[in-house]
Structures are given as C-alpha cells and as structure tokens.
Structure 1
Amino acid sequence: MKNKVFLLSALLLSMPLLPVQAADAAPESHNRQIDIDKVVVTKHQAEVNNVSFPYTAETGTQPVWDEEGNPTATLFYTYYERSDIKDKSKRPLLISFNGGPGSASVWMQIAYTGPRALNVDSEGYPLQPYGTKDNPYSVLDTADIVFVNPVNTAYSRVLPGKDGKMPSRDAQQKMFFGVNEDVNYLSSWIETFVSRHQRWPSPKYLIGESYGTTRVSGLALALQNKEWMYLNGVILVSPTELGIKREGPVDVANRLPYYTATAWYHKKLPAELQQLDLMDVLAQSEQFTLNTYLPHLAKGSYVEVADRQQVAEQVAKFSGLSVQAVLANNLDIPTDYFWKELLRDRGQTVGRLDSRYLGIDRKEAGAEPDYNAELTSWLHSFTPAINDYLRTSLNYKTDVKYNMFGPVHPWNREGDQTGENLRQAMAQNPYLHVLIQSGYYDGATNYFDAKYSMWQLDPSGKMKSRLSFKGYRSGHMMYLRYEDLKSSNDDLRAFIKASLPKEGQAAKY
C-alpha cells in the first residue's frame, strides 16, 4: 500500500494547473485566480499561559521573482504578530514550514504553535463540529510566527510567464520542485518578507516538520550564504534523514525502538516489559539495538545459528511480534509488515505516522495495511477546519481550492546535503542552536532515526552543547495529543529563550 500522501499527490498532479487568482475577486468574475500580491489584516485577542494580549493576523500572498524581476509564483502565508510590543528588535520571529513535500502549512498553524488549535479530543481524534478553538499554549506570547506555503500548496500557485502561458512541467520542476530548487526560491522569499515587515534586527528561527526539516536545514545555510541572514535557531519536528545516510543494518536496527514503543502502547510486549514505564522499556530496547542487534545485522548470514535464534527471540520480545515472524523476515522487519502484523490477531492495523491510530482492512491476510489510519483521521478534521478558519476568522475569501497536498511530484532529491548544510551553518554561526522534537509512535520518521541523525550531524562533537532532543508520547504530529501540545510548546518556548544571546554576548568562539 503506497503512502496515502503520495496517492493524494498523484490525484492532484492529474489536475490542470490554474493561473493565480484574486482573493477579493468580484462576484461577477469567473476567473478562479489568486491575487499575486495582496493581504487581509484582522485583529484578535489571545490568552497564553494565563496572559492576555492582542495580536494581528496578516493573511495573503507574496510573489516569488526570477533574476529579471518577473513574478514566477505567489506564496500564500499567514503572519501572526503580537501587537502590544512596539520594539521588534528583540522580538523573535519564527518562520514555519510543513513538509510532504507538497504539504500546506495547515498542520502546525492550527494545531501546534499558532493561536488557534484544532477541535479534537485529548488524544487528537476528530470531533464535530469541525473547527478550531483557542490554543492556550501557543508560542505567540514569545515569538511572532509566519506560516509559509511553498508552491502549489494551500493557495500558493505557479504564475504564467511573460508570454501569458504557464511554464511547462519540466520548467516548473527546475524552478520549484526539488531539494535545492525549493531552498533556493524560498530563501529569496524569506528575505523579501523580512524586509517588508522590517524584521531584520529580530532574532530569527526556522521550524520545519517532516520534509520541512529538510527544507529548513537547507535554508539555514542558504539564508547565511545567499541572503546574509543569520539565525538563532532551527527546530526539526519529526525530522527526515537530511541526507545523512543510514542504509543497510543501521536502517533496519533503528526501527526497533519505535516498534517497542508501539507494541508497549498496544500492550503486546511480554509482561516483564509491559509493566514498566515506556521510557524504561525504550532504554532497554535502545541498548539492545546498539549493542547487539546492529552488530548481528552487520554480520548478515554469517551469524551462528544459535546466536541468530537468540537475537530473534530478543527482537520478538522488543517488537511484540512472534519469533517465527522475525526469523521469516531474516531479522529485518519492514515497517509495512509491522503495521499489518502487530495486531493481526485482533483484526486491526496500526497507523504509519502515528501508531496509536487503528485501521480495518478488507482482509486480515497480507503484508501491508490497506490505508493509513492516522492520515484519514487527520484529513477528517484539518481540512474543514482550515477552510472555515481562513474564511470566517481571518476573512480571506477565494474560490481557489486549498491544497492540503499539492501537485509537486516528481520531486528532485538529488544533491540532498541538508544535514551537512545545517552543520556548516552552525559552524559559521556561534549563535545557531538546533532542537529536535519527535513522537515515540511515529513510524514514518521514527524517533531513533532522529537521534541517530543528531549524533551524526556534528562528527567533531564540538557543537554538541547546541544540539538537543525532546521526545513525546504521541506520533508524527505530537502536538495533537493535548498533554504534548503543552509540553512541546513549552519546550519550544524554553529553547527560544535559552538560545537568545545575553546582553553583550558576541557571536564568537
């Protein structure tokens, strides 16, 4: 079963590209277009951590230009600014991206850091009526936030060329749809945004989720070297591999602690592990993974039969699977198989991005789930909520379709050196700190891979004090669980405050 994200993207890819359109198009106009450069500003009140304050929401579009100054696309964004603070020079600016690639900024905007949160239950499951409510833990008390939608996501669109014709698909890909293409145009867009809003003196932070972590890692260096804009922090939420290789035994072994967390949640571990707290169980699983499982995988078929049996028994113990299932997969358990197999005896599958979510397949046989249970649940609640919120609360009205997932594929992944880009940006900039946030039940970008990337990011070890990791008892979007909405925002708030230099502290080693 292919990832639901890619299925949705494929469907969207088959739709014709539309020229951009005006947000305030007159009723008699039948052109479905987004205005190239226009904003709507609304005023609001927030209460965060029992402190009330006013803020403005600026919703609109800002162009992307080519080297000749011609607009090639327009990006839709929402900018939240606390309006009771006059001096912005010390006020942090948080620039937020989601991932995909091809995903809109909706997820973190109305569920994590923004002033409004999704109307879901305490564990993150959909509730009706669909919509949003106040977010009492938003970091808007500490930083202003702009949520940016890359080309073809949300209302962002490619523009016709000087000849009035849409660029070919190949031309669009070379401009926008690839690891380095994405970073190149977005760094220029950020420079324009910062200049327009007079935020050059402000401390600046990038936050990205999932593929957004690839994006912001690349942007950290591009902003320094291309726009001469230096950051104070980069936050990686559920990070991708960032070009840091982990093929073969490392890739296989790193999955096991995630399997352990999921099996613990669904009460599939042996009694001696199940009775322990999750963190104690994970500590054991991580040690086994690094000290025993990984070395045995590296030996391949040259492991002694008795040792192979012993390792299989331990893998089964920590994964919740049978020894037979582990041996049948040669100790290498694919994630698709795990999501299908773990609860096969109950007739259920577990979610990919958040393994707390359950699905029901057409038949219990097979090696992979029919669909991603968590993604259907999220689309259930996010899609109506963002469409209603933009129109009714932020007064942004258009007939253009809000692309939860937009047509951006095929995506050029060649030359992904974003992890090295981030390391180089940190080395050049003593102010730059990095925070990694991961959910223990995320099977798409698992938390142990995130730890591994952090360990490999700085081989010299000289910048370890500027790298930190936080884990949560939820999945890919850890903030959907109410308890983690608070803790993840608190961690983010603490990170921002701790990474601000003290008065007179120079950027030097």
Structure 2
Amino acid sequence: MKLHILAATALACLAVPAAAQDKDGKVAEAKAYQPQIVTTRHSGSFGGQRINYSATIGETILKNKDGVPDAAIVTTAYIKEPRDPSRPVTFLFNGGPGSGSVWLQMGAFGPKRVAIPSDARDDGAPPYPIVDNPDALLDVTDMVFIDPPGTGFSVLLPGGDPKNYFGVQQDARAVAEVIRRWLGDNGRWNSPKYLGGESYGTFRSAAVANQLVNTTYNDVGLNGIILISTILDYSGRAESPGNEVGYITTLPSLAVTAAFHGKAPAGDPSVIAETARQFALGPYASFLLKGQKAPAEERAAVRRRLAQLTGLSETYLDQTDLRISPGRFYKELLRDRGQTVGRLDTRYTGRDYDNAGEGPDNDPSFFGIDAGYTAAINSWARDSLKFKTDREYQAIGRSVRPWDWSTGDSDQYVNVAPYLGTALRENSGLRIFVGQGWYDMATPFFGAEYSLSRTGIPQDRTSFHYYDSGHMMYVRDEDRVKLSRDLRQFIRAR
C-alpha cells in the first residue's frame, strides 16, 4: 500500500511540471509570433473616378490580461493614394457568427469582385471570373475589412482562450480594439468614421458601437452605421412555443416570395409587402395574441387571407395552426413542382433527395454562390495581395462554437437595438443606413423595421433602402449598382 501511495505521489509531482512546461511552451510560441503585414499598390475606376490605392493585408496581435499575445486578427485596408487623413474611413465585416468578410469584400465593396450569375442561378464550376468592381466605394471612403477571430485567416494563437473572443461582448471588444489600433497606427483619429456589417455583422455593429462609445473614456465618434440584412433582436428568430413575434415579422417575406414564384398574385414587391405588413400588424397579430380564445369565424377569415398571401393551402395552414415556420415554408411552397426555395434568397430554387420531407436538404441560395466566393478571396488575398499562410480561409467557420450570447444584461433576451438608440441619442451627427432585400428570409425586412421602430430609437436619422433580391442583394447586378449608389449618397451627406 505504501509503495502505491509513493508511486501516485511521484506521478502527481511529475504532472505539474509537465503541465507548466506545456503552458510555458505555448506562451513562448505566442510571444515569438511575428505578424505578417503586406502592402501592394493598385489602380482602378470607382464611381467614375480613376483612383490609385494601396492594399494592406496584415495581422493585428491582441493580448490577454497577462500581456501574452493570444489572437492574430487579419484586416485588409484599401486606402486612396496619396493619403488624406480627412477622408472618411469605413470598417466592414460580415456576420455568422463565424463568417469572414469575403462576402462584402469580394461581392459588394472591394476593388475586385467575383462575377457569378446575377439571376438566381448557381455559380457552377471554376474558374470564376474575378473582375474590376466599379461599384467599390473608394471614391468616397477608405475601407478596412475586418475578420474577427475564427473567421477568414484570423486565428487564436497557442494558448489563446476561445472564451475571450467567441461571444457577443468578447467579439465586440476585440473588433473595437482592432479599430482603435488601426486609427492610431494610421493617423486617422479625426477622420469621419463608419461601421458597416452584414447579417450578424449588423448585430456586431451595434455591439461594437457600444464598445467604442460607452465602455471607455477613449471614445470613437461615429458618423454612420451601415446595416445590411439586419438582425438586431433575436426574438423574431426564436421558434419557441408561445412566441408569436416571428410569425408576424416573417409574413411579408413569405408574401413577396409567393408572388415571385407565381403562387400568389404578381405585383410590385413593395406594394405586396405593404399589404402583408398591414395584415400582419392587424388581423393576424390580433388572432395570434388571442391564442385558443380566437373564435372560429376569425380563424377562418385569417386562414383564408393567409392562403391568398402565402400561396399555401388552407388545409396545410390549418395543420400548422396558422403559424408558418420558415423551414417548412421553404419546402412546402413549391412542393408540387418538386422544388425548394432558398433561405438567404428565396428567388433561388433547389431539388432535394426526395419530395416528402418537412424541410429542405440544404439552402440553394448558399450552395449556389459559396464556391465562387471562396475561390475568389483565396486567389485575391494569396496571389494578388501576396498574403502567405498555410491557414485555410474560413468563409463560414464553425470554430467559433460555442458562442456566448450573453449581453451582460440579466433577464433580457438577446437584443442590441437599444445600443443604437443610445448611440443616436448621444451623437446628433450619427445616422443609420439600413439595406434590406425583399427575398431575404434569414433576416426579414419586417424584422429589421420592427426592431428599429421600438421606443428609445430616434427615427429621423435612420433610412431604409430595399432591393429586389435577398440577403446578399449585391449578387444581383442591378442591386449592387443601386446599393453602391445609395451608400455613396449616405456617406456624402454627412
């Protein structure tokens, strides 16, 4: 027995130094990490102007509370030459959480873009054309695309703790630090400044704005926040029993989709959307809030109108208790044609393994574009911008899971719209641009309208703009041109 005890004690003594050595090794490796920063020079025509610009792709090293490097954040900055510190600068990112900035960079605002089909067809096989992008915003603003940890080429360094980065507030703090560092390193503290995000990137924009203004005395004043395909309040996404908000805020998107595919009367999507809004806010909301106390004649009238708007049969609507979840809608709308509709963009259609399921196998509006974008960002960053790495570019990364959704406010569901209300109330020069696609079911336009019309959010400096496509409205050529034009006006109007 004594021998066993002595042996166990010896092993325990050996384990501590081994763990310490492992930790010391990771710390040493992290401290030795050398960030890569590469600048190349280019020229292009943007907004009708010929512009010389530099492209700098590089890593910003963030440190933990002990001063040890634990994350390498990659940014790609496009700066008009010669440099002008009075020019606006716009910080851009995508969403996910877990998405790299490839979508906005290679689809909408970067100096090059990938030319995939504009008419809701899939992108097919390579090679994918990488072309000049005259719709890039370099004539009105410098741009810095940010890939938060776990997205794009950005990574945690050895010993880096995911809990310090993979969450609403942690992510926002990291992005805010990168922005502050960039402003200092590039002499741009007094430049007009804009934040721009897509999808969860809009959620991040609100959280980052809160970090830049309300958490330190080193405030960063903002001129504008650009929200593209907006999600600020997750109550509309929660398909929990008893939560009726999502059924109300998605109904107008169902209606314009049904009309697009010939399942409901055709017309101008803005007119169809307004008709559906009024029904959703009135008879439909009233019916849902009454629950099982709604009388039979009211139920029949609502069911009849729902069928007219959504293209679904009254029999099917009865089976869903007049509550249409998006996942079911994607499968059911065109079931008689053997097709599904997309989530990110409901103009897209796909075919499943069979036609019997309740939901689609996949999202045809994502697999219809993802290969082209991934090829484009790797080719552009590695070959043209000369960024050398053996890391894979994370266009939609899973490495950020699990994600900490806490905002630090107890007894509150996840909603960052109040951050924007505070920012607007405390900065009279701040304006908000909201861009929404009619055919976006991932972040429905009525959900954005709902979240930004709540109490405490000034309405006079928020402008909405709508596009005849989906979540990534810039995929459609006409909408990319319109989005670019709308944003030029927004930035020039400061």
TM-score, structure 1 as length reference: 0.85
Matches for 1:272-291 after TM superposition, within 5 Å: 273-274=265-266, 276-291=267-282
Partner residue, 2:106: 110
Whether the 8 Å contact between 1:98 and 1:209 is mirrored in structure 2 is yes
Secondary structure of the equivalent of 2:460?
helix
Tell me which residue corresponds to 1:147. 145
CA contact (8 A) 1:178 1:411 kept: yes
The Cα RMSD (Å) is 2.0
Partner residue of 2:410? none
C-alpha distance in 2 between matches for 1:244 and 1:497: 34
Q: Deviations over 1:486-506 (max 9, x none)?
A: 1111111111111x2xxxxxx
SS in 2 for 1:475: coil
Whether the 8 Å CA contact 1:479–1:488 is kept in 2: the answer is yes
Aligned AA (2:198): E
Tell me which stretches of 4 or more aligned residues in structure 1 moved more than 4 Å.
243-247
Measured in 2, the distance between the counterparts of 1:246 and 1:209 equals 17
1:62-73 aligned at under 5 Å gives the runs: 62-73=60-71
Per-residue deviation, 1:473? 0.7
Give the whole-Å Cα distance in 2 for the aligned partners of 1:124 and 1:55: 33
Could you list the per-position Cα deviations for residues 376-399 of structure 1 after superposition, in whole angstroms to 9, with x for gaps in the alignment? 112121111111111222122222
| Superposition pairs of residues 50-199 of structure 1, within 5 angstroms | 50-84=48-82, 86-89=83-86, 91-123=87-119, 125=121, 126=123, 128-160=126-158, 166-167=159-160, 171-173=161-163, 175-199=164-188
Q: Return the alpha-carbon distance in structure 1 between the equivalents of residues 371 and 237 of structure 2.
A: 34
- 1:300 Cα offset (Å): 1.1
Which residue identity is paired with 2:366? L
**Cα deviation, residue 194, structure 1:** 1.0
Give 2:465's match in structure 1, choosing from 470, 492, 509: 470
Give the Cα–Cα distance (whole angstroms) in 2 for the partners of residues 284 and 417 of structure 1: 27
Q: For residue 341 of structure 1, what is the amino acid of its counterpart?
A: E
Aligned residue identity for 1:342: L
Say which is worse superposed, 358-367 or 409-418, in terms of deviation. Answer: 409-418
Would you say the 8 A contact 1:100–1:211 is kept in 2?
Answer: yes
> Any conservation in 2 of the 1:321–1:342 contact (CA below 8 Å)?
yes
What is the TM-score normalised by the length of structure 2? Answer: 0.88
Alignment partner of 1:369 is 2:360: yes
Secondary structure at the aligned position of 1:485 is classed as helix
Q: Distance in 2 between matches of 1:219 and 1:399?
A: 30
Q: Is the 8 A contact 2:120 2:347 kept in 1?
A: no
Q: Give the match for residue 442 of structure 1.
A: 440
Measured in 2, the distance between the counterparts of 1:417 and 1:296 equals 25
Q: Within 5 Å, give how 1:35-434 maps onto structure 2.
A: 36-84=34-82, 86-89=83-86, 91-123=87-119, 125=121, 126=123, 128-160=126-158, 166-167=159-160, 171-173=161-163, 175-225=164-214, 226=216, 227-242=218-233, 248-269=243-264, 273-274=265-266, 276-406=267-397, 407-415=399-407, 416-434=414-432
Maintained 8 Å contact 1:213/1:240: yes
Q: Residue 401 and residue 266 in structure 1: after superposition, are their counterparts in 2 closer, same or farther (change >3 A)?
A: same
% same residue: 37
After superposition, the Cα gap between the structure-2 partners of 1:290 and 1:157, relative to the gap in structure 1 and judged at 3 Å, is same
Residue of structure 2 in register with 1:494 after alignment:
489
Q: CA-to-partner distance for each residue in 1:224-249, whole Å, 9 max, x for gaps? A: 13231111111111111346678622
Q: CA deviation at 1:285?
A: 1.3
Aligned length: 452
Matches within 5 A, 1:10-21: none
> C-alpha separation between the residues in 1 aligned to 2:233 and 2:189?
28
Letter in 2 for 1:88: P
| Contact 1:213–1:242 (8 Å) recurs in 2 | no
Between the aligned partners of 2:150 and 2:84, the Cα distance in structure 1 is 35
Q: CA deviation at 1:460?
A: 4.3
Which digits, 9 at most, give the CA deviation of each residue in 1:212-263, with x for residues without a partner?
1111101112101323111111111111134667862222111110001111
User: How far apart, CA to CA, are the structure 1 residues paired with 2:182 and 2:120?
Assistant: 33
> Aligned partner of 1:178: which letter?
G
CA deviation after TM superposition for structure 1 residue 202, in Å? 0.2
Asked whether the equivalents of residues 113 and 133 of structure 2 are also in contact (C-alpha less than 8 Å), the reply is yes
2:276 alignment partner, SS class: helix
Query: What stretches of structure 2 of length at least 5 have no aligned partner?
Result: 1-24, 408-413
Structure 1 unmatched runs, 5+? 1-18, 21-30, 161-165, 501-509
Residue in structure 1 matched with residue 18 of structure 2 by the alignment: none
Between 1:351-360 and 1:117-126, the stretch displaced more is: 117-126
Letter in 1 for 2:349: L
Q: 2:449 is matched by which residue type in structure 1?
A: K
Q: Measure, in 2, the Cα distance between the counterparts of 1:246 and 1:384.
A: 31
1:452-508 alpha-carbon deviations (Å, 9 max, x no partner):
11111xx146x211111111111111111000001111111111111x2xxxxxxxx
Following the alignment from structure 2 to structure 1, what is the Cα–Cα distance between the partners of residues 372 and 491? 30
In structure 2, distance between residues paired with 1:76 and 1:131: 25
Letter in 1 for 2:84: D
DSSP 3-state at the match of 2:107: coil
Contact (CA 8 Å) 1:75, 1:156: kept in 2 or not?
yes
From the CA coordinates, give the structure whose radius of gyration is larger. 2
Give the deviation of 1:278 after TM superposition: 1.9
CA distance in structure 1 between the partners assigned to 2:424 and 2:152 by the alignment = 31
Change (3 A) 1:242 1:298: closer
Distance (Å, rounded) in 2 between the aligned partners of 1:221 and 1:243: 18
Equivalent-residue separation in structure 2 for 1:87 and 1:77 (angstroms): 20
State the SS of the aligned residue for 2:183: helix
Secondary structure, aligned partner of 1:139: coil
Query: Does the 8 Å CA contact 1:75/1:148 hold for their aligned counterparts?
Result: yes
Aligned-partner Cα distance in 2 for 1:224–1:372: 38
Distance 1:124 1:35 in 2: 44
Is the 8 Å Cα contact of residues 96 and 207 (structure 1) preserved in structure 2?
yes
Moved more, 327-336 or 117-126: 117-126
Q: Deviations over 1:142-200 (max 9, x none)?
A: 0000000000111111112xxxxx24xxx422x00110111122211211111001110
